[in-house]
Structure 1
Amino acid sequence: MVIKEKDALKITGENPRGGKGTIYNYRYLDKDEISTPLKGFYVNELLPGSEIGYHEHIDDEEFYYILSGKGIVNDNGKEMEIGPGDLIYTPFKEGHGLKNTGDEPIKFAAFIVEG
């Protein structure tokens, strides 16, 4: 199966996870379309000045792979700069948030896996 970028469902989110600003989610696959514990595969664009609010993953874990842009991740209360090529891994029962501190969107692939 091949899913073209033009065929991914674009969803606009405001104030993601209690943060601020705008995020564009491109849904390539959702849990109902996958036969594994993967809950979804998305490519996201967090616009400049926007942030995903800090949140915990109680029954799943999440991976963000940064494709472009730069920002600051809150990884369980520890903040650090991120950029292209970085992987943010949030295991079960841990939390994270993401701020775009740059002049371009942070584009990242997100994988969510059931616990």
Structure 2
Amino acid sequence: MLLKFNDTTLIETIRPREGKGKIKGYRYLENIELENNLKGFYVNELEVGSEVGYHQHIEDEEIYYVLEGKGIINDNGEEKEISVGDLIYTKDGERHSIKNTGDTSLKFIAFIIKK
């Protein structure tokens, strides 16, 4: 199966996970289309100054891979700088948030995997 960018579903969220600002997500796949434990595959663009609020993962895990920009991840209460090429792995039961601290969009891939 080939999915072109034009086949994606754009999802725009204000104050994602009760954070700040806005995120645009391009959904390529979601669980109803899949025959495995992947809940979704997204390419996200977090606007300058925006953040996805601190939240816990229950019965799923999430992986972020940074494509463009820079920011800060709150990884279970510990803040760390992130930039292009970094991967963030949040296990079931863990918490995280992500903030754009750069002067361009923070673009990252998100995989959500159900347990």
In the TM superposition, 1:35-114 aligns within 5 A as: 35-114=35-114
TM-score (norm 2): 0.98
Query: Normalization by structure 1: what TM-score?
Result: 0.98
Aligned CA RMSD, in angstroms, stands at 0.5
Q: Alpha-carbon deviations, 1:29-49, whole Å to 9, x = none?
A: 011000000000000000000
Deviation track 1:51-96 (CA, whole Å, cap 9, x = no partner) reads 0000000110000000000000000000010001000000010010
Name the amino acid aligned to 1:32. I
What residue ranges of structure 1 are gaps of 5+ in the alignment? none
**Segments of 4+ moved more than 3 angstroms:** none
Residue correspondences, number: 115
Gaps of at least 5 residues in structure 2 are: none
The aligned residue for residue 20 of structure 2 is: 20
The alignment-based identity, stated in percent, is 58
